[in-house]
Structure 1
């Protein structure tokens, strides 16, 4: 859950100047925790994914590191581009193994103003593993005549526009997964469309542009000192769109537990994998508090 509004080009080096990625640290001992129906596994996601039961997961919703230099506690978010892409293909291959034949994999990722190609380079590499069934634009801030909505963080640039959206790639094994489009739908604006178009309820498809704003926060502590989070509503919509009752939901980059909170809201069994013990502790506390409210 790794979004950014960095000033374009700030703190960057040219690709030709990038040094090789540091050696990966030895994986810590795996720990498991349960909060209600939600399971948290502390450890390296690639190692854990390779040990999970094949074809055991219905929905994957995740937002991996974006390789833009964010300050995670237990991960260096600046590899060479090829090393990063190779690593992500490894992760995606392991994810594919645990997907049921009709599973959905929702991959949230974004580029930066100076590195806009990275998300597309990644998804092209994934063509050998998945079909790109839908490409959803997650809109975080939008301007309409005379007003604006959502979280807007200005950048100081004479070349680039503010980046107000991120990508949500819906990947499936064969591109033929049936979805519950109304499960993630919206009411009709013009109610005459309900009867005129033969709909059984006041609900239509949300489409492939999702406006999901953040809750307003004023400091990093309100974001649990995590450099990139997404709203609970985003993974919740993904789970509802997939449309299976009581699905198994996986997030291999759990962070502070947002996808598991969405799983809890939807009556799903969530599995979250996270290498950082501090984020694991925050996720456990968030789930506990949500269950008590």
Structure 2
């Protein structure tokens, strides 16, 4: 997907995202949602998925616009290219040193990252429309989804632990996850299911990594136990657990929660994630281009 729309004379935004079996798939899935949000707000959108188009370059529109960079590694190449074209730049979890006009994260960075403006918090959680449109209910299974790549290959072991606890589990393997051999009772393995939003919405509770899937589940009012794929995910998840927004963090602490824990944790989680992250990012982009006021 490159040009989502091409409205003549419209403001344009270029979005760059990447992912891999090493870095996961969350940056790609959430940036697609941001691209759609800009398109729905009247922007001409150019979306560059570097996993599919590793040699892509920014299009020169002959006028300045907006560039949104969502990369899981430090790289100032795209920011420098955007600056050469006179573009304003938003960095999502930006790790480079090029100083975007606005750096947006869900948690405060561990070290200082150069930027003109830093915004962070769960209000910037990007929730896909398919998740927002899903109707939450309470099923009889635990959904296990350790990201689109399952970087540490924790998914099957987690599902096996749940099976040993006498719980029914559905293990979702994402597009960058390798195949696994399932020999466990009460465990169903599904590969990149098209009805992932429905599976998530109908689960009893969720075990996920500490990224996109976690906040999507929280937005549906699901109680979540986090198996972090990286030290950064763990740093993000720990304070949420301490605030009562998660069931727990870490494979060693995985257990069957009580009904009250499932209900109360899910309630607090849903109140913390209002699913308006994409909307806020679009408003910030409009503000940078002089089109709108500071977003709420």
Normalising by the residue count of structure 2, what TM-score does the alignment of the two structures yield?
0.26
Higher RCO, Cα 8 Å, sep 6+: 1
TM-score by length of 1: 0.26
